[in-house]
Structure 1
């Protein structure tokens, strides 16, 4: 099935990439623009865990990872739609999965089980996105 000379599969791939782009750019840029507030919150979340001493560094790493995942996903989705080149979209989804894995692990360590559970749907969507890219070799 084609929609304006694009297959339905390609539309799904692009939309998942754009979704990941919006999700991670918003989350990462929120951390950048309210760095002090977000860092303080993360340090309080991990205050009673073995990660308390490195929570500031981990916050910086996850911020960078989210911004990179968002940029690669968003611009990769657009580039794939226009040019048909899918490498950046795939990289974006891979970075998105890595970001979600890190966030999930941190929330489990902090015993925020509800927060960790809320990430499962996003993780499955990003994994599905990689799967649909694998369908067309």
Structure 2
């Protein structure tokens, strides 16, 4: 039996991370410049391009695993601990990295926004485990 709720959360995570990754690729220079200012007074000040690259890889991998998990779930017609589960876990880890960055930058509104995405990611981990 297809369970819709985990699929919808995986779709939310996939859209979120694939769009964010695409934006980073499309406007690498603009993102790097903005984030350099955002993290100017933090331990990440001199590592913005490296950190951005790590986040980009995590976002693309998270989104791809979530999409793969949706496909796997629809093909197998059963909730299993498969690609969607690993996509939800990687999404949660990615969000924790983003949360850490926002907290280091003392951007508490940005941190609060990330928590809004973290809650469904953890729900997906729970449903798919």
Aligned partner of 1:24 in structure 2 is 17
- State the alpha-carbon separation in 1 of the partners of residues 108 and 24 from structure 2: 22
Q: Cα deviation per residue 1:73-107 (whole Å; 9 max; x = unaligned)?
A: 12211221222454111111111001100000000
Structure 1 stretches (4+) deviating beyond 3 angstroms? none
TM-score, scaled to structure 2 = 0.92
- Structure 1 residue runs of 5 or longer lacking an equivalent are 1-5
1:119 aligns to 2:114 (yes or no):
yes
Q: Is the 8 A contact 1:80 1:86 kept in 2?
A: no
- 1:119, CA displacement in angstroms? 1.1
Across the aligned residues of Structure 1 and Structure 2, the Cα RMSD in angstroms comes to 1.3
Q: SS state of the match for residue 52, structure 1?
A: coil
- 1:61, CA displacement in angstroms? 0.3
Aligned partner of 2:84 in structure 1 is 89
1:100 aligns to 2:108 (yes or no):
no
Aligned partner of 1:49 in structure 2 is 42
- Structure 2 residue runs of 5 or longer lacking an equivalent are none
Computing the radius of gyration from Cα coordinates, the structure with the larger value is 1
- 1:117, CA displacement in angstroms? 0.6
Structure of higher RCO (CA pairs closer than 8 Å, 6+ residues apart): 2
- State the alpha-carbon separation in 2 of the partners of residues 25 and 32 from structure 1: 11
Q: Is the 8 A contact 1:24 1:67 kept in 2?
A: yes
Aligned partner of 2:6 in structure 1 is 13
**How many residues of Structure 1 are paired with residues of Structure 2 in the alignment?**
127
Q: Cα deviation per residue 1:52-78 (whole Å; 9 max; x = unaligned)?
A: 111210011001100110111122112
TM-score, scaled to structure 1 = 0.87
Q: Is the 8 A contact 2:84 2:128 kept in 1?
A: no
